Structure 1
Amino acid sequence: MDSLITAAGRALAAGDPFAALNRVALREDAPALALRGIAMAQLGDLARAKVLLKRAGQAFGMREPLARARCILAEAEIALVSRDLSWPAKALDAARAVLEAHGDRLNAAHARTIELRRLLLIGRLGEAERLLGGFDEAPLPPALEAARALATGGIALRRLQAEPARTAFARAAEAAGRARIPALAAEIEVAARVLEAPAARLIAQGKERPLMLGEVATLLASETFVVDACRNVVREAGTAVPLATRPVLFSLARTLAEAWPADASREALLRRAFRAKEADESHRARLRVEIGRLRAELHGLAEINATKRGFALKPHRAGEVVVLAQPVEEPHADVLVLLADGEAWSSSALALALGTSQRNMQRALETLAEAGKIQSFGKARARRWLTPPVPGFPTALLLPAPLPDG
């Protein structure tokens, strides 16, 4: 590695991309292209960074697999930051295998962390936990230790495990303090703040109150009959009846649960499930059919009895019926939650994370944009959506190689 490349690498490690560019801006060899790509990423020009890193990877070629793998790792981190969740995960996995085979354990751990964060974004918790279990137990640099602890806390959050999440975030904050990377510390602070905010609302017998994450976990572990409007599931004592693909049935179940222990009127059920302002005989006939289908779904958990004015829910075992709702309910709230992370998302990435079609996602984004709640930049496939201004590049890349001591 020549002196200019070494000096540029040191400048990037110190967080000075301009000094790095002063040394390699006019060079076209593979190491210089890689360093220029990293510098542009740190400056926030992710599109240019991707082009430079791809050129660097091609220039290194198959004869230098380790350097090429590091370029792929940098591309993967940029894809994560720019929320390009369709970026080929197999390429990152192959790069990680090369890094491990050549003894570059730090970059291999970084690759594992990037894939962990991607799996968390798209909700694949089982895969994320298996990947986390494959981490080398040897000590890591503070930045990587913080990133690993942050991923551990993210998994615990999604598993509704408040105390393990709190412990992991505290460990991440301590490591980020040693790493002295302000953007990483800020990311951890935002993640930990979730534990101090209401995670859901409890609706029971006409009253509602906010619930913290730990309270949500306690409720779901109890014997209470819970209509979970956060995930569109009916739960009781460890038994779950998913109704995410049956929105009409879930709407009926929620209306019945909100009315419990009284009955829900036919008019209320028709308004909630079918959005019918004036019900005719065809609506009433359809209501009877859908109530029959809901009875079949809830068989073993509850009965649905007809009354003079409507229908009433009667659990077999539970002594209480509640609705667990999102803290704020408004159209496309799930999209707003993802965009609240401050990153710029593509419509395809949002669709992948929320398990819906891209066309449905585009309609939701257009609705939110018309309401002034989100904004976009770019055109066609390069179009990105966000709530705050475009963020910078928050993490440091470990490329092109660990710098020599001295």
Structure 2
Amino acid sequence: MDSLITAAARALAAGDPLGALKRIALRDDAPSLALRGVAMAQLGDFVRARTLLRRAMRAFGPKEAIARARCMVAEAEVALASRDLGWPAKTLDAARVTLEARGDRVNAAHARYVAIRRLLLIGRLDEAEHALAGIDPEPLPPALLAAHALMVAGIAIRRIRTKPAQAALERAGLAARRAGIPALMAEVENAWLLLRTPAARVLTHGEERRLLLGEVEALLASDVLVVDACRHALRRQDAVVALAGRPVLFTLARMLGEAWPADVPRNTLIARAFRARVIDESHRARLRVEMARLRTALGMLAGVHATKRGFALVPHGARPVVVLAWPIEEPHAAVLALLADGEAWSSSALALALGSSQRTVQRALDALATAGKVQSFGLGRARRWMTPPLPGFTTTLLLPAPLAGD
């Protein structure tokens, strides 16, 4: 490897893509093509980056297995950055196996981290945590140490565990400063913002208050009965009644929780839960049936008592009731939450992350675009959607991940 290639590689490792391109921008040999691809990825030109990396793989040829595997890992990272979540994971895993077999432990670890970051994006926390536990970060360079700590923090934040998240972010900050990469230090600071800005709203007695993530954690650990509108469940400490698949029951439970300790009139419950404009006796009969189902579902957490004008939620043990709601509540808020990271997403990637159909996501994007909340660029399969980050709160509780106790 000549001196220019070595200098360009060092510049890229330090987060200086322009310095790398000054040395190799006009070269078309395989190592230069690979480094140019990485440089273009760091500059945000993902389309050009993937083209260069694929040219480099062809130029290396089948006998240079390590170089080709490194290009595959780089292309997978570019796909992740451009939110192409459908990029074949088996290809990345094959590249990792090749690197491990040839003794390139650093790039093999990097391949694992790319796969784990994808799992985090689509909300598969158990798989991400299991994969992360199989990596010993101590022998790795500072940049990968920071990446490891950021992923540990990301899992802890999604699980609403603030102390482990803070400890991991402190480690990430130390490692990022040792690495001296500005983009990595900015990523750590952005992660800290998730803990410093409101993550949810709590509704009680007709009043609303915003909570930081640590306050959400304290609320879920308390003896309060929480009507959790973020995950459509009722919970008290470790006891959870999931109503995500029963929207009518959850709507009724939320209305009762917002009114607690008062009751809610029958006609109000019917109009909102059943979306009825004209109320008749059949609606009242259905309300009695649904309230009986809700009473059975809540079990030992709370009872539902009939009053003269409606129904009231009565938690067992005279505990207070609060409603935990998303930081924003509007149609398609979950789509906005994913787009709030400032990256350009495809509709297929959004569908994969949300566990929804691509057509459903496309309808949501069209509605948001009509309202001026998102914008798109590109055509066909290259079409991407994005929006500026939403100010004033974090979207942690909108992301596809379970809360503690799920």
TM exceeding 0.5: yes
- The reply to whether residue 223 of structure 1 matches residue 223 of structure 2 is yes
Question: What amino acid is aligned across from residue 50 of structure 1 in structure 2?
Answer: R
Residues 52 and 227 (structure 1 numbering): CA distance in 2 closer, same or farther, change over 3 Å?
Answer: same
Q: Does the 8 A contact of 2:229 with 2:324 survive in 1?
A: yes
The aligned counterpart of 2:275 is 275
Q: Does the 8 A contact of 2:304 with 2:312 survive in 1?
A: yes
The aligned counterpart of 1:129 is 129
Structure 1 CA distance for aligned equivalents of residues 5 and 170 of structure 2:
37
Over the matched positions of the two proteins, sequence identity in percent amounts to 67
Q: Does the 8 A contact of 1:226 with 1:236 survive in 2?
A: yes
SS of 1:277 mapped into structure 2: coil
The aligned counterpart of 2:264 is 264
SS of 1:275 mapped into structure 2: coil
Q: How many residues matched?
A: 389
Gaps of 5+ in 2: 390-406
Structure 2 CA distance for aligned equivalents of residues 213 and 367 of structure 1:
30
Q: Does the 8 A contact of 2:254 with 2:323 survive in 1?
A: yes
- The reply to whether residue 111 of structure 1 matches residue 108 of structure 2 is no
SS of 1:276 mapped into structure 2: coil
Question: What amino acid is aligned across from residue 99 of structure 1 in structure 2?
Answer: L
Question: What amino acid is aligned across from residue 83 of structure 1 in structure 2?
Answer: R
The aligned counterpart of 2:370 is 370
The aligned counterpart of 2:287 is 287
SS of 2:279 mapped into structure 1: coil
Structure 2 CA distance for aligned equivalents of residues 357 and 9 of structure 1:
41
* RMSD, aligned α-carbons: 2.2
The aligned counterpart of 2:200 is 200
The aligned counterpart of 2:31 is 31
Residues 212 and 40 (structure 1 numbering): CA distance in 2 closer, same or farther, change over 3 Å?
Answer: closer
Structure 1 CA distance for aligned equivalents of residues 138 and 363 of structure 2:
48
Q: Does the 8 A contact of 2:137 with 2:144 survive in 1?
A: no
Q: CA deviation at 1:3?
A: 4.8
Residues 262 and 37 (structure 1 numbering): CA distance in 2 closer, same or farther, change over 3 Å?
Answer: same
Provide the TM-score with structure 1 as the length reference: 0.89
Q: Does the 8 A contact of 1:224 with 1:318 survive in 2?
A: no
Which residues of 2 match residues 2-401 of structure 1 at below 5 A?
2-13=2-13, 15-18=15-18, 20-21=20-21, 24-25=24-25, 28-317=28-317, 319-388=319-388
Structure 2 CA distance for aligned equivalents of residues 273 and 67 of structure 1:
59
Q: CA deviation at 1:207?
A: 2.3
SS of 1:283 mapped into structure 2: helix
- Relative contact order (alpha carbons < 8 A, sep ≥ 6): 1 or 2 greater? 1
Q: Does the 8 A contact of 1:255 with 1:268 survive in 2?
A: no
Q: CA deviation at 1:196?
A: 1.2
Residues 68 and 313 (structure 1 numbering): CA distance in 2 closer, same or farther, change over 3 Å?
Answer: same
Q: Does the 8 A contact of 2:37 with 2:50 survive in 1?
A: yes
SS of 1:201 mapped into structure 2: strand
**Greater mean deviation of Cα atoms: 281-290 or 45-54:** 281-290
Q: CA deviation at 1:57?
A: 2.5
Residues 16 and 303 (structure 1 numbering): CA distance in 2 closer, same or farther, change over 3 Å?
Answer: closer
Q: CA deviation at 1:75?
A: 0.8
**Greater mean deviation of Cα atoms: 130-139 or 248-257:** 130-139
**Greater mean deviation of Cα atoms: 32-41 or 151-160:** 32-41
Structure 1 CA distance for aligned equivalents of residues 252 and 259 of structure 2:
11
Provide the TM-score with structure 2 as the length reference: 0.89
Gaps of 5+ in 1: 390-406
Residues 68 and 278 (structure 1 numbering): CA distance in 2 closer, same or farther, change over 3 Å?
Answer: same
Structure 1 CA distance for aligned equivalents of residues 162 and 239 of structure 2:
22
Question: What amino acid is aligned across from residue 386 of structure 1 in structure 2?
Answer: M
SS of 1:352 mapped into structure 2: helix
Structure 1 CA distance for aligned equivalents of residues 215 and 17 of structure 2:
46
